[in-house]
Amino acid sequence: MDVGFVGLGVMGLPMARHLVEAGHRVTVASRSPGPVARAVAFGAVDGGSARGVAEAASVVVLCVPSSPDVVDVVDAMLPALRPGVTVVDCSTIDPDVERAQHLRVAEAGAAYLDAPVSGGSVGAENGTLTLMVGGAADVLDGARPALEPFSKMVVHVGGPGMGQVVKLCNNLLYAAQMQATAEAFTLASRSGADLGRTLEVLLHSTGDCTAVRTRVPFEGVQPEAPPSNGWRPGFMTDLMAKDLDLALAYAARVGSPLDTTRLVRETLRQAVDAGYGCEDFSAIGKVVRKR
């Protein structure tokens, strides 16, 4: 299959690599030349621009940081879109902005799916991402060969924009887990509890969750976790803050309360203000510990 990929960041570059390894002909574009050169080195073709990628591919995957970035890429691709082409947006953006892109691409005669991913940079590297897909089911069926090489699960969750809605629900839950994990382990530490044994208990109790399993925000408790590795990001604080802003804005439009999310967003703000924006979002634990 001729697959295009626009956006070769921490997530996008390994996703594109999995596509090449699966035997697809992959044409790429990105903002900076370095990732494009690395993609060419593992077998991709430099498309020169988003439009060049769209001209070369029947399925184009996007993985860019924000809603305006997605709009800009779609703007660039529109002249090259045609019947038989499917655009798949794996970014995390505003659901209503995404619905507008569905319409714009459809007007050009092409198809569109929103397919944000979960699994972070580790999932991208390992090809084990979960995709939550909004759009037409038959369009997803045709695009699956271009999605499965970097995924362990691809789930159709509804119509246009619903992939983004489910992704925001996922991330607000994960952020709340992280805040609770930071508070729990700070309480344990200040009480003199052994954090390793506390972790052992929680992993086999009702307090178990993804944040406890992967991101206890104390150095040395989990050797593979970001806090034990210089807070190297699997998912940056800045990006989680962006996603919670998206969730809060969308929830306000549909009239759904997000009280816990507002509290966690404030902690993320403090983490960004403290200079932790480019660190893993478990760095909110450092904010909790200083309170």
Give yes or no: residues 146 and 253 share one domain.
Answer: no
Give yes or no: residues 17 and 155 share one domain.
Answer: yes
Catalytic residue among 167, 242, 286, 290: 167
**Structural domain boundaries, residue 95:** 2-159
| Domain count within the chain | 2
pLDDT at 272: 98
Which amino acid, residue 207?
G
The answer to whether the predicted template modeling score (pTM) of the entire model surpasses 0.85 is yes
Could you list the mean pLDDT of each consecutive 10-residue stretch along the chain, which spans 291 residues? Answer: 97 98 98 97 98 98 97 98 98 98 98 97 96 98 98 98 98 98 98 98 98 98 97 96 98 98 98 98 98 91
Give yes or no: residues 132 and 14 share one domain.
Answer: yes
Q: Which has the closest alpha carbon to 25: 142, 146, 113?
A: 146
2-6 and 59-62 beta bridge pairing: parallel
Give yes or no: residues 149 and 284 share one domain.
Answer: no
How far from each other are the two terminal CA atoms of the chain, in whole angstroms?
A: 53
- Would you list the DSSP string of 16-83? HHHHHHTT-EEEEE-SSHHHHHHHHHTT-EE-SSHHHHHHH-SEEEE--SSHHHHHHHHHHHGGG--T
Neighbours of 48 (CB within 10 A): 14
Contact 226, 215 (CB under 8 A): yes
Check residue 155 and give left, alpha or beta (phi > 0: left; psi -120 to 50: alpha): beta
SS3 at position 193? coil
Query: Known catalytic residue: 152?
Result: no
Give yes or no: residues 27 and 143 share one domain.
Answer: yes
Query: Of 132, 159, 186, which closes a domain?
Result: 159
